[in-house]
Amino acid sequence: MSENSDWREVTINAFLRVLLNEVSVENVDKQGFLVYLKIAWDKLVLKARKIRIVGIIEEIEFFRNGFRFTVSDGSDKVVVRGWREHMGLVEDLDLNEGDVVEVFGYVKVSYENEIYIVPFIIVKHEDPSFMVEWAKRVEEDRMHLLRIVNA
């Protein structure tokens, strides 16, 4: 991909909508302390530190210094981790297993090479059909980015 001159890398300084299966070790680009997610799509490589994901909470765990929950779309999973300073994000929402959430956050990699998201904003969605629309929104965003880059 990076060898092909037809591909263009675009760094996104916004919360890029991504699918859970795109949050993978293969798509991680570590540059010192900064971690980027790089997603190849239609001759573009979208590079972002800040991403947005949507899924159903499968497991949620609170501990002394923070919390951890797993978000799933039925086939893929992503871990969301927060610490003391992020507790207000989950306490105010009364999050439980089975809730549909949208997480705006930063991509990180643990010392055990586990990818996780540190939340900046968490939105609880009451309507489960929101997940169905998510893939369409991801596609629409990328089509829009492609038009901008090619303009």
Ordered domains of the chain (ranges, CATH)? 8-129 (2.40.50.140)
* pLDDT attached to residue 128: 83
Mean pLDDT over 48-74 rounds to 95
Does the pLDDT of residue 132 top 80, yes or no?
yes
- Quickly tell me which residue has 């765990």 as its tokens: 61
pLDDT per residue as tens digits for the range 8-40: 899 999 999 999 999 999 999 999 999 999 999
- Write out the H or E segment, with its range, that includes residue 144: helix 130-150
Give the predicted TM-score (pTM) of the model. 0.91
Out of 35-49, 83-97, 105-119, pick the least confident: 83-97
